[in-house]
């Protein structure tokens, strides 16, 4: 009786361990926080239809682990045999571009280039030199400048933002042009500029011939310079 039990146990374990290599996946679905996955992502994952449970899950994991836009993911197995893939995509926070190029690079909060796009409503910074490739990280100076630009858009409408060597130049739609350093205490710099801009606006309202839009506020020095 004991031998029979052990034999059944052996065959049972053999069947269980071999099932992942025998069972074929009939379907694979993919959804992100925005709905169905993009065509590229969905098509790549759908290639695992017809593969064994073991191979399909391994291949999906390998693909998602390498995908620059995928922040987190879960893979659920359901019956009839199918995989339901749920992904959390990285959300771009900024874009960088060159004056002479149409495409722009979308950038994550950490400064990683996520993808190249034609248009974007995100804050844009014009940089010198060539754009970094997808997957690369921008320099600390560029990331610092991007955060300045993004934070400034919450209070002002910007006409253009661009880097020139060791300075960040931002032209406002209404108000002065401001020059920031590309490193330092971002909150302190922004606070200083807001105070100066408000004071210049007050002067404009009080003096008939005053026009702060022609002014340049340079914050690269210990004491801000207004030209």
For residue 185, list its beta bridge partners. Answer: none
Domains of the chain as residue ranges with CATH: 23-89 (3.10.20), 94-226 (3.40.50)
- Between the alpha carbon of residue 131 and those of residues 12, 61, 91, 206, 216, the distances in Å are 58, 30, 19, 45, 28
The Cα–Cα gap between 62 and 81 comes to: 20
Q: Which of 125, 119, 117, 185 is nearest to 158 (CA)?
A: 125
Q: Give the pLDDT confidence score for residue 222 in this predicted structure.
A: 86
Q: What angle do CA 34, 39, 40 make, to 5 degrees?
A: 110
Q: Give the pLDDT confidence score for residue 155 in this predicted structure.
A: 87
Q: Give the pLDDT confidence score for residue 4 in this predicted structure.
A: 54
Q: Give the pLDDT confidence score for residue 6 in this predicted structure.
A: 45
pLDDT averaged per 10 residues in sequence order, the chain, 227 residues? 49 44 80 91 91 89 93 91 93 91 90 90 91 93 96 91 95 91 95 90 74 84 88
| DSSP reduced 3-state for 23 | coil
Q: Give the pLDDT confidence score for residue 3 in this predicted structure.
A: 55
């Amino acid at each position: 009786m004991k031998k029979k039990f052990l034999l059944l146990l052996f065959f049972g374990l053999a069947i269980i361990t071999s099932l992942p290599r025998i069972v074929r996946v009939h379907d694979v679905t993919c959804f992100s926080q925005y709905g169905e996955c993009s065509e590229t992502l969905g098509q790549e994952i759908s290639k695992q239809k017809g593969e064994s449970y073991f191979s399909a899950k391994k291949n999906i994991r390998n693909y998602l682990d390498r995908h620059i836009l995928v922040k987190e993911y879960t893979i659920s197995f359901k019956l009839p045999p199918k995989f339901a893939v749920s992904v959390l995509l990285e959300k771009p926070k900024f874009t960088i571009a060159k004056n002479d190029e149409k495409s722009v690079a979308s950038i994550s909060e950490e400064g990683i280039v996520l993808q190249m796009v034609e248009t974007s409503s995100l804050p844009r910074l014009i940089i010198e030199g060539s754009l970094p490739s997808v997957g690369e990280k921008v320099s600390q100076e560029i990331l610092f400048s991007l955060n300045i630009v993004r934070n400034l858009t919450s209070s002002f409408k910007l006409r253009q933002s661009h880097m020139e060597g060791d300075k960040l130049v931002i032209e406002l739609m209404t108000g002065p042009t401001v020059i920031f350093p590309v490193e330092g205490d971002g909150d302190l710099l922004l606070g200083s500029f807001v105070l100066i801009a408000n004071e210049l606006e007050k002067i404009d309202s009080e003096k008939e011939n005053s026009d702060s839009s022609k002014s340049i506020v340079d914050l690269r020095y210990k004491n801000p310079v207004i030209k």
